[in-house]
C-alpha cells in the first residue's frame, strides 16, 4: 500500500510538473516555468528515494533532457518575434546539441566523482562548500557582467 501511495506521489508530481509547464508556456511566466522544472527535479528525487539504492546511471541523460527542455521552454516563453532568420535557428539547434552533450559529460563526471569519494563529515562539508562556491561564481560573474557591460 505504501509503495502504491509513493508511486502515486511520483505520478502526481510528474502531472504537476507538466501542468505548470503548460501554464508557463501559455502565460509566458518564467517563474512558473522554473517551478515546473523544480517540481520535475522533486519528482526525480522521490523516485530515487523509492529506488533500489544504487546510483542511477541514467541521471546524466536525464540532466541532458532536462536542460534541453529548459532551453526550449525559456525560448518559448520569450516574446514572439515577427520573423526569425534561418541562421539563428541553425545556431540555436547546434547550441542545444552541444548543451545536451555538455550536460551528459558534466553529469557523468559528477557521478564518477560522487562514486569515488568516501562518505564522511569532511566530504560533506566539501560538498556544501563546492555547491556554495558554484552559486557564488555565478553571482560574481553576473555582478561583473552588470558592471562591465
Partner 1 sequence: VTRSFTPKLGGYAAIAAVGLLAALVLRLPELVGLAAPFAFVPALGLVLSRPPALDVEASLERDRAVEGDELDASLSLRALRGCADLDVLLELPRALTVVDGDDPISLRLGDGEVRKLRARLRCNRWGAYDVGRVFLRGRDAFGLVSWEWRADRRAPLKVYPTEEEVRELLVPRDTQVYSGNHVARERGEGIEFADLRPFVPGDRVRHVNWRASARRGDLWVNEQHPERNADVILFVDTFVEASRAGRSTLDLALRASTSLAARYLRQKDRVGFVTFGGMLNWLLPSTGAAQMYRMIDSLLDTRIVLNYAWKDIEVLPRRTLPSHAVVIALTPLLDDRAVSALLDLRVRGFDLLVVELSPAPFLPTPKGDVQVTGRKFWELRRDALRGRFREVGVPVAVWDDEHGLSTALEEVTAFRRFARVASA
Rounded Cα gap, residues 78 and 71, in angstroms: 11
Buried-exposed string 52-86: b where 16+ CB fall within 10 A, e elsewhere? eeeeeeebbebbbebbeebeebeeebeeeeeeeee
Rounded Cα gap, residues 109 and 115, in angstroms: 10
Using CB under 8 A, pick the residue from 6, 10, 23, 34 that binds partner 1.
34
Q: Does position 11 bind partner 1 by CB under 8 A?
A: no
Site track for partner 1 across 84-123, x = CB under 8 A = xx-xx--x---x---x--xx--xxx-xx--xx---x----
The stretch among 2-10, 12-20, 83-91 that binds partner 1 (CB under 8 A) is 83-91
Rounded Cα gap, residues 101 and 89, in angstroms: 19
Residue 112 cell numbers, joined: 564518477
Binding footprint of partner 1 on the chain (CB under 8 A) = 30-31, 33-34, 37-38, 41-42, 44-45, 48-49, 55-56, 59-60, 62-64, 66-67, 70, 74-75, 77-78, 81-85, 87-88, 91, 95, 99, 102-103, 106-108, 110-111, 114-115, 119, 124, 127-128, 131, 134-135, 137-139, 141-142, 144-146, 149
Amino acid at each position: 500500500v505504501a509503495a502504491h501511495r509513493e508511486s502515486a506521489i511520483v505520478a502526481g508530481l510528474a502531472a504537476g510538473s507538466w501542468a505548470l509547464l503548460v501554464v508557463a508556456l501559455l502565460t509566458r511566466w518564467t517563474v512558473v516555468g522554473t517551478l515546473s522544472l523544480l517540481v520535475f527535479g522533486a519528482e526525480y528525487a522521490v523516485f530515487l528515494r523509492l529506488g533500489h539504492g544504487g546510483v542511477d546511471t541514467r541521471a546524466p541523460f536525464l540532466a541532458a533532457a532536462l536542460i534541453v527542455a529548459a532551453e526550449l521552454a525559456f525560448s518559448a516563453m520569450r516574446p514572439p518575434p515577427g520573423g526569425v532568420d534561418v541562421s539563428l535557428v541553425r545556431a540555436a539547434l547546434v547550441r542545444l546539441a552541444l548543451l545536451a552533450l555538455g550536460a551528459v559529460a558534466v553529469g557523468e563526471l559528477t557521478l564518477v566523482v560522487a562514486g569515488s569519494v568516501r562518505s564522511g563529515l569532511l566530504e560533506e562539508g566539501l560538498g556544501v562548500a563546492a555547491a556554495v562556491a558554484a552559486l557564488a561564481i555565478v553571482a560574481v560573474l553576473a555582478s561583473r557582467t552588470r558592471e562591465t557591460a
